[in-house]
Amino acid sequence: VKKALDKRVTSADVARAAGVSRTTVSFVLNNKPGFTIGEETRSRVLAAADRLGYRPHASARRLAAGRSDLVLLSLPDLPIGVNVARFAERFAAALAESGLTVVAHLAALPGPSLPDVCAEIDAAAVVSLTSLDEETHAALRQSGAQVVLMPDDAADAVQEQIGWLQARHLIERGHRRLGYADARQTVPQRMAHVRLRGAIRACAEAGLEEPLTIGVNLDADDAAEAVSRWRAASVTGVCACNDETALAVLAGARESGLDVPGDLAVVGCDDIAAARLAAPPLSTVVFDLEAAGKQAAHSVLQALEGRAADVAGPGSEPHLLIRRST
């Protein structure tokens, strides 16, 4: 038994060690459907591969086979919250079962563009959590991606619905002039705009002015300033683009000596743990991306099945609900 430390173990090495041809090795290791492998040969090959610590060269395999088992998941924003985490969890679980390998592209980081990364790893499928423009989409297809999945209009509608729910929540409780707290400090949440649109729609439907939008840092002093501007404009209820921003507004109101929700009502979005633990607990819109993760995985699988699929559809309709705490 000789241990080679410097050179890669190739399938030829395994073949030699097992006294068979490379073809046989390939058949055995890939469990080829044409089940023509003798039991003794099979185990001999397996043993040799194991003993030599053989790992097939993935790039060579992709080149020869002309297909890839890699799925690239593009995550837009960087501190990754629980919602996206749950999405990813379901997504990965479903794909793992089919032997696909998921790697993530952290789009918020500096570096090569999504199509470049896709090309570099030679992914079979790309799933993005944000809509891609036509150009990017074309580039992805050209990069070899066989299937490209992204939120479609339906998914956007869900985001819009979130803003709508927030505003409705406040309007139903008698608020006639609303504010909207946008995140200023963090990486701009790409979905914030869509949500705002929903809030605007809710106001319009109720015959109200559209919300007074103010960018808020995750800082009590800064939020206090925003709060005073809202107060000056007779705003009594504020929708925040996410829970962290909502917590900032809460802190700002507290600093201004205001009672929440008496003087100022706040509703967030995401249902992060910290929001539930705040005093008073935040009202927040909960949306469940788990189902979407599973569905996205199925779309990918189905599309890859025929190895010829195109842009696939929605990420399903997450259950939207508002958790009332105030």
Partner DNA sequence: ATGAAAGCGCTAACAA
Partner DNA sequence: TTGTTAGCGCTTTCAT
Interaction site with DNA (CB under 7 A): 8, 10-12, 19-27, 29-30, 32, 34, 36-38, 40-42, 54, 56-57, 60-61, 63-66
Instruction: Report if residue 206 touches its own copies, rule: CB under 8 A.
Output: no
**Tokens representing 304?**
């890859």
Among 4, 47, 204, 274, binds its own copies (CB under 8 A): 274
DSSP helix/strand/coil, 65: helix
Distance CA 177, CA 18 (A): 79
Q: Which is nearer to DNA, 42 or 141 (CB)?
A: 42
Q: Which is nearer to DNA, 21 or 234 (CB)?
A: 21
**Tokens representing 115?**
């199509």
The C-alpha angle 44, 46, 48, rounded to 5 degrees, equals: 70
For residue 74, the minimal CB distance to DNA (Å) is 23
Instruction: Report if residue 248 touches its own copies, rule: CB under 8 A.
Output: yes
DSSP helix/strand/coil, 95: helix
Burial of 34 by CB count in 10 Å (0-12 exposed, 13-18 middle, 19+ buried)? exposed
For residue 228, the minimal CB distance to its own copies (Å) is 17
Q: Which is nearer to its own copies, 170 or 247 (CB)?
A: 247
Distance CA 326, CA 54 (A): 61
**Tokens representing 268?**
């967030």
**Tokens representing 85?**
């985490």
Query: Which residue stretch of 10-18, 30-38, 96-104, 283-291 sits at the interface with its own copies (rule: CB under 8 A)?
Result: 96-104
> Where do the H-state alpha helices sit in 122-152?
134-142
Instruction: Report if residue 89 touches its own copies, rule: CB under 8 A.
Output: yes
Q: What amino acid is encoded at 105 in this protein? A: H
For residue 142, the minimal CB distance to DNA (Å) is 12
Q: Is 231 within 8 Å of 202 (Cβ atoms)?
A: no
Residue 33, contacted partner among DNA, its own copies, none, CB below 5-8 A by kind:
none
Residue 82, contacted partner among DNA, its own copies, none, CB below 5-8 A by kind:
its own copies
Tell me which DSSP letter residue 20 carries: S
**Site residues (CB under 8 A) for its own copies?**
8, 53, 55-60, 62-63, 68-70, 72, 78-82, 85, 88-89, 92-93, 95-96, 101-106, 108-112, 116-117, 119-122, 142-144, 218-220, 244, 247-248, 250-251, 254, 272-279
